Structure 1
C-alpha cells in the first residue's frame, strides 16, 4: 500500500506509526516543511516542500489564520501535483491538518482515502474559552467570531476526509457531529519499556549539582513556559515551596517561546515576566536551587523524569502534553491541575493528586505532602505507571490500534 503522511514538522505525532508501516513493507512517503532536501528516515521517504512566495496584499485580520493555512495548503498542493505528474498516487493520505496543508490534496488524488489527526476543534464556550480571568479578551464577540473563522480549516478538511484519529476523548469530543462519529480515539503511544523508574539514575546540571534519587527533586516541564500550561501559577507558588522545602531542587524545562495562547508584550517572554514578578520574594540561596534548563535532549529529559520525586503539571482545558504520560510511565508522584483533559488520564489520590488550576497554595500543599511521604509517592507512582501500561502503552495497545485504523481507512469508500 502507498501511504503519504502530511505534517509540517514530520514525524510529529506520526513518529511511531510511519516507521512501523514502512517496516511492514508499505511504501511510505511524507511531505513536510521540516527538511530542505529529500532524505530517508527509518524507511520513510521524506520529501520537502517550500512555501510559495506571495506578493504583498492586505488581509482582513479576522482571516489571518486562514490565510496562513491556505498559504501552506497551496504550497503542499503544488508539491503534490509534482508527485502526481511523476506517476505517484497514494492509496491513503494521513494528515495532521492543523496547519492547513492537506486542504487541496483531494483535488490532486480524488481516489485516495484521507485520514485526519484531529488535535482540536476550537470552541467558544467556557472553559474552552475564557478559562483564565487573568487574560480576558478585549472584545468577547470579536473573539468568538475569530474562533469560528479559525474552524474553517477544520470544515474544509472534513469535506475531504473519510476518518479521523484523536489521542484523547477530550480532544475528540471538541469536534462536531457528524465528523465526531468518524473519529477513533487512540493515543500516540508511550514507550513504557524505555520510560521506567531507575534507582541508579544521575542527572547533571551544568554549573550546578549532580542529582540522584536521594535528592529532593521537583520537576516542571513544558514545551514553552507560558500561561496555557500554568507557568504563572507555578512561579507564584515557587517562593513558598522553596521556603518550606529548604533542600528541594526545582528543575524547570521549557523554551522561551509561545506554543499556545496569547503572546507576551513585545520584547518580553512569559518566562522572564513571572521570574521578575516573584524574584524579590526568593532569597539568593533559595534561587540557587532553581534550575531553568531550556529545552534539553530527550535522553536527558528521560533521566530528569527518572530522578524526580514530585512532578508538577498544569494545563488549561486543552491538549495534554506527552510529558505528563512520560512522567507517569517513570512512576512519578504527580501533582496536576484538575482540568478536564487531566482528569481523563489521572484520578485524584489514585494515580496523582489533583488541585484547582489556580490554587497555588494547594499545589504546594500537595507537593509538600508527597515530598514528606515516600509511601504515598510510591503508591501513586506505581498506579500511574500501571495505568499508562494498561491504557497508553505504545506496543501493547496504541500502535496496534493505529495500524488497524489505517487498514480500516484503506477499505473505506471515497
Structure 2
C-alpha cells in the first residue's frame, strides 16, 4: 500500500501510524511536510513550502484562508512532482485546517482522503467566549466564522474523517458527523507507566529530597491552558504547603490564543503580578521526552487546566503514569476524568480552589492511591496505543480498499 501523509509539522499526530506502516516492506510511506529537521527511517519526507506569506493587505478575516490556499497550492505542486517520480498513493491522510489537504482531490481525483479533524471554530459555546473577562467583539464573531472555510472544504471533499475525542467531534457541523470517526491518537502506556518511589533529578534540577511536588505541563504558557490561574494558585499553595515545590514544563510562548502587547510574555506578566517564593518554583523550559517522563512520574499532583478546546496529549500521558491529575472542570477534561474516581476536577477560574484541591491530595494519600490506580486503568482501557494503533491501521486500510467512494462510517 502506498500512503501519503500531509502535515506541516512532521510527524505530529501521525508518528506511530507512519512508523508502523513503514515497518511493513509491502508499504511505501511518503510524508509531505514543511519540517526539514526531523527524519525517521523508512519514511520518505517530501518537503513543500508556500511561495509566500499571506499579503499584509489581505482582509484579516480571510488571512488564514489565504495561508491555507498557499499551503494547498504548494502541496498540489508537490503531488505533481511525486507523480512524475512514479508515486501515486492508494490513500492520503492529512490534517485539516492549515491547507495541505485542500486540493488533494484535484491532484489525485480518484484516491481516497482520510482527514484528521482536530477542531472546528465557534464564537460561542466553546473556547472563544469562555473567559468573561475577554469578551468578543463583532469583528471577532465574523473572523472566527470565516476561519472554518478550509475545514469546511475538507469536510466536503474527504472520504472519511477522524477526531481524537467525542468532544472535539461534537464541535463539527452535525451534517458531517457520519463522516467522522472518534479515534484517539493513543498513548504509549508501556513508556508512560508508573515508577513507585520516583525521585525528580534533572540535569539542572535536583528535587530528590522533596516529598511534595506539583507539576504543570504545556507547550506554552498562556490563558488557553490556564497558566495565569495556575500561577495565582501557587501563592495559595505556598501558604498552605511550606515544603511544596512546583515544576512548570513548557516554553515561554503563546501557542493558542492572543499574545500580550509589546512582546510581554505571560510568564513575566504573572510573576510581576503575583509574589511567589521562586526558590520553590522551577521553570524547566521544554524537555526531551525522557526528562518530561521523570517529571510526571515524580509528580505528587499534576495540574491540567484548559479552556473548552483541544485535549492535550500530556493529560492522558499523566494518567498513564498513575499521576493524580487535577483537571479543570471543562468539557474536554470531563470526557476523561470523573471527579473523585480517576482524578479530581476544579473550577478553571478559581486559583484558591485549585490550591484547596492540591491540599486535599496531600492530606488524603490513602484515598488518592485509589484514584491513581484508576487513572492508570483509564489510560490502559481507553487510550493505550497498543489497542488504538491497530484500529488506526485498519481504518486506513479500509479507506484505501474502498477507494474514493461513499462508505459506511467507521464505528469505534
**TM-score when normalising by structure 1:** 0.94
For residue 324 of structure 1, what is the aligned residue in structure 2? 315
Q: Deviations over 1:177-213 (max 9, x none)?
A: 332111111111011111111125332245543336x
Q: Deviations over 1:245-286 (max 9, x none)?
A: 01111000111111111111121111211111102xx3xxx3
For residue 19 of structure 2, what is the aligned residue in structure 1? 19
For residue 32 of structure 2, what is the aligned residue in structure 1? 31
Shift in alpha-carbon separation, 1:412–1:175, aligned structure 2, 3 A: farther
1:273 pairs with 2:272: no
How many residues of Structure 1 are paired with residues of Structure 2 in the alignment?
A: 403
For residue 46 of structure 2, what is the aligned residue in structure 1? 47
The offset of 1:372, in angstroms, is 2.0
**Aligned partners of 1:84 and 1:108 also within 8 Å:** no
Note the 1:156-171 alignment, pairs <5 A.
Answer: 156-171=153-168
Q: Deviations over 1:340-395 (max 9, x none)?
A: 00000100000111111112111111110101221122111100100110000000
For residue 108 of structure 1, what is the aligned residue in structure 2? 107
Match of 2:150 among 141, 150, 153: 153
1:230 pairs with 2:220: no
**Aligned partners of 1:69 and 1:101 also within 8 Å:** yes
Note the 1:47-126 alignment, pairs <5 A.
Answer: 47-53=46-52, 58-126=57-125
For residue 375 of structure 1, what is the aligned residue in structure 2? 366
Match of 2:292 among 291, 295, 301: 301
Match of 1:192 among 168, 186, 189: 189
1:343 pairs with 2:363: no
Distance 1:175 1:401 in 2: 22
The offset of 1:57, in angstroms, is 6.3
Q: Deviations over 1:45-87 (max 9, x none)?
A: 1111222147956211111111111111111211111112222
Distance 1:205 1:355 in 2: 30
Match of 1:218 among 210, 214, 229: 214
For residue 132 of structure 1, what is the aligned residue in structure 2? 131
Distance 1:26 1:50 in 2: 26
1:352 pairs with 2:352: no
Residue aligned with 1:331, SS: coil
Q: Which blocks of at least 5 consecutive residues in structure 2 are unaligned?
A: 405-412
Distance 1:18 1:208 in 2: 35
Distance 2:54 2:298 in 1: 52
**Aligned partners of 2:302 and 2:326 also within 8 Å:** yes
Residue aligned with 2:263, SS: coil
Q: Deviations over 1:12-46 (max 9, x none)?
A: 0011111111123311110100017xx85132111
Residue aligned with 2:62, SS: helix
**Aligned partners of 2:218 and 2:250 also within 8 Å:** yes
**Aligned partners of 1:35 and 1:47 also within 8 Å:** no
Shift in alpha-carbon separation, 1:105–1:241, aligned structure 2, 3 A: same
Match of 1:366 among 352, 357, 368: 357
